[in-house]
Chains A and B, each alone.
Chain A
Amino acid sequence: EVQLVESGGGLVQPGGSLRLSCAASGFAFSNYWMMWVRQAPGKGLECVANIKGDGSWKTYVDSVKGRFTISRDNAKNSLYLQMNSLRVEDTAIYYCARDGVAHARDYWGQGTLVTVSS
């Protein structure tokens, strides 16, 4: 059974940093692109960053470029999101998702809440 479990969310002040983790199991992790998708309170979904299976290619939405870094450790079946210089508008639930068949996000974690507030 495919499982994605996020951790690392919490309350942080503007300008602060957080590192999110996503533990994957039940599939050949290194064979898949993975991504972070966020959802601000009461708002829609937004792909924040994604990373190729071997970690050689990464993309970011413009609003987080230069502040967020996506990475992965295939030996640990884990995905990460390092978030620096956090802003109030980064407040959201952050989901880890697998990029599966036909570029669809076929499995999602339960999400971890990041709150940026003073």
Chain B
Amino acid sequence: QSALTQPASVSGSPGQSITISCTGTSSNVGAYDSVSWYQQHPGKAPKLIIFEVSNRPSGVSDRFSGSKSDNTASLTISGLQAEDEADYYCSSYTGIPTPYVFGTGTKVTVL
């Protein structure tokens, strides 16, 4: 399966809100609610920040929120902070035979 499509970069000023889109197809994002989002700081492993479209793991800031409409999922970061500057990846379950696909990744810059 082809990678999910994300914008290459998104930027915002501290305190602002930004939204990252993740566009797939009716075979992945549109078919399942198993959409997750990952934050990756330079030189670090990815970290799960959203699962099942809109749920946050324990310990993840409520400034992160997720949603989905048809074949497009979205991640919104509210009250942007310097520490949010990182790469963000979406991912969707795709069923058998290869069950997962990642997005192309989005670099978030805090101005």
Contact = CB atoms under 8 A, between A and B. Distances in A.
Interface of A: 35, 37, 44-47, 50, 59-62, 95, 100-111
Interface string B49-63: 001100101000000
B57 to A, nearest CB: 7
A59 B46 CA distance: 22
Interface of B: 3, 32-34, 36, 38, 45-48, 51-52, 55, 57, 89, 91, 93, 96-105
A104 B34 contact: yes
B36 A45 contact: no
Nearest to B93: A103
Contacts, number: 68
A59 B96 contact: yes
Please indicate which of the listed interface residues A37, A46, A104, A105 has the most CB atoms of chain B within 10 Å of its own CB: A104
Given A44-B3, A62-B98, A95-B46, A105 B103 contact: no
Contacts of A110: 45
Contacts of A50: 99-100
Contacts of A109: 45
B102 A45 contact: yes
B52 A111 contact: no
